[in-house]
């Protein structure tokens, strides 16, 4: 295990930790109801209103900055609080086909089906397990000291900047495992089905954002095209920063596969439920902020709670965070949280530091927020 701030638990403590988190999960699921349904439907309505307002204001050139702002808010809400959370199955219990994880596909060039495999299954099952979780560095960055250094990583800051600007495209190409093709670990033929799905989604998104909607504004086509591109850029930068602050600031732990096989199962060594929770706790970080900030982040500002309970509606994370923090205190486990500026600086510092070979220094301490997470 690397970059751990906290304590190692005994077998009994891990089992008890698992039971405590299971109780929280079961209680919240049993309590889901009309308030949760009304919340997500209200967010969808607001997102649609921002999109309509943004599209309409593109017809009035003096309002172009406001049009871009409204469309950016719409795209952020759709990707973060709606798309990400709906595709996690957080609202399947409602029986609403418009909010069903099997049907919903977001406003993004990455096909929903592919994202659900790489994110919901691979990332959330193997969170921060080196060699298993491909979200560690997204195949192009060095984000952990245990990743073997290579001169290629001298470009770490540049690669991170490009990934931030083109984040939706980076996510879309994630499943193609280009780095494994280059390394000879994967054959190009294995990507045929994935490539076809990506191209269908890319064509649909490009047609919508860069041809259809700009064409509807007639002679204002260039301004509308630029506005749509700018809104996508703003959404990409925002999503990148929120996600990286939840996964890669100082104090976040990574694990080897062997460390996770902590109990004997029917088919050999496997990971216990308690250790899975333990890994989610230490492999995530939160960002403090206002209620509006949490909504605009899709409540991924509560990344710890999201990794613990990925299928619980994200609006519940602030209330759950109070209990999670209390449990961490009792078990002497680090609860990594800090302001957006604190976490951003920590991530940027790590990206630059890991561009170079490892130094023999002790890990940085995790930042601690001065205000409670549940705002």
Does a structural domain hold residue 216? yes
Instruction: Please write the tens of the pLDDT for every residue from 209-241.
Output: 999 999 999 999 999 999 999 999 999 999 999
Asked if the structure places residue 5 within a domain, the reply is: no
Q: Examine residue 370 and state whether it is found in any structural domain, yes or no.
A: no
Query: What's the half-sphere exposure (Cβ side, CA atoms, 13 Å) at 129?
Result: 19
323 found inside a domain: yes
Following DSSP, what letter does each residue of 191-226 receive, concatenated? GHHHHHHHHHHHHHHHHIIIIIHHHHTGGGHHHHHH
Domain count for the chain: 1
- Mean pLDDT, rounded, for 168-195: 73
Q: Is the pLDDT of residue 368 over 80?
A: no
Q: How far is CA 187 from the centre of its chain?
A: 28
Is 232 domain-assigned?
yes
Residue 139 per-residue DSSP state = G
Stronger pLDDT, 153 or 266, i.e. the higher one: 153
Q: Is residue 359 part of a domain?
A: no
Q: What is the mean pLDDT of residues 35-39?
A: 98
Query: In this structure, is residue 249 part of a structural domain?
Result: yes
Domain hosting 165: range is: 11-353
Categorise residue 5: left if φ over 0, alpha if ψ from -120 to 50, beta otherwise: beta
Question: What is the band of 2 on the pLDDT scale with cuts at 50, 70, 90?
Answer: low
Specify if 118 maps to a domain.
yes
pLDDT at 138: 87
Q: Which of 21-30, 115-124, 164-173 has the highest mean pLDDT?
A: 21-30
pTM: 0.90
Q: Residue 5: is its pLDDT beyond 70?
A: no
């Amino acid at each position: 295990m690397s970059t751990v701030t906290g304590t190692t638990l005994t077998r009994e403590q891990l089992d008890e930790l698992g039971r405590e988190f299971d109780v929280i999960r079961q209680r919240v699921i049993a309590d889901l109801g009309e308030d949760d349904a009304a919340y997500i439907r209200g967010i969808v309505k607001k997102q649609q209103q921002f999109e309509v307002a943004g599209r309409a204001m593109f017809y009035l050139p003096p309002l172009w900055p406001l049009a871009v702002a409204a469309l950016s808010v719409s795209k952020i809400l759709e990707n973060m609080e709606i798309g990400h959370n709906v595709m996690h199955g957080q609202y399947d219990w409602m029986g609403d086909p418009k909010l069903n994880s099997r049907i919903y596909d977001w406003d993004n060039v990455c096909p929903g089906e592919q994202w659900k495999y790489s994110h919901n299954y691979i990332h959330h099952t193997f969170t921060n397990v080196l060699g298993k979780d491909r979200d560690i560095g997204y195949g192009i960055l060095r984000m952990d000291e245990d990743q073997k250094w290579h001169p290629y990583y001298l470009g770490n800051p540049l690669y991170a900047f490009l990934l931030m600007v083109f984040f939706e495209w980076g996510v879309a190409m994630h499943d193609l495992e280009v780095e494994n093709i280059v390394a000879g670990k994967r054959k190009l033929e294995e990507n045929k089905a994935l490539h076809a799905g990506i191209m269908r989604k890319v064509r649909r998104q490009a047609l919508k954002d860069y041809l259809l909607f700009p064409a509807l504004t007639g002679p204002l086509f260039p301004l509308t095209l630029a506005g749509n591109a700018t809104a996508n850029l703003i959404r990409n930068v925002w999503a990148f920063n929120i996600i990286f602050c939840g996964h890669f600031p100082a104090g976040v732990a990574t694990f080897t596969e062997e460390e996770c096989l902590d109990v004997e199962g029917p088919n050999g060594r496997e990971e216990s439920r308690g250790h899975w929770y333990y890994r989610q706790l230490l492999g995530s970080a939160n960002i403090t902020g206002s209620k509006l900030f949490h909504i605009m982040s899709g409540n991924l500002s509560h990344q710890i709670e999201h990794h613990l309970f990925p299928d619980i509606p994200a609006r519940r994370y602030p209330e759950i965070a109070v209990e999670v923090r209390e449990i961490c205190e009792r078990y002497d486990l680090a609860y990594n949280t800090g302001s957006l500026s604190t976490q951003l600086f920590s991530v940027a510092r790590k990206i630059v530091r890991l561009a170079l070979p490892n130094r023999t220094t002790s890990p940085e301490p995790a930042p601690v927020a001065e205000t409670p997470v549940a705002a």
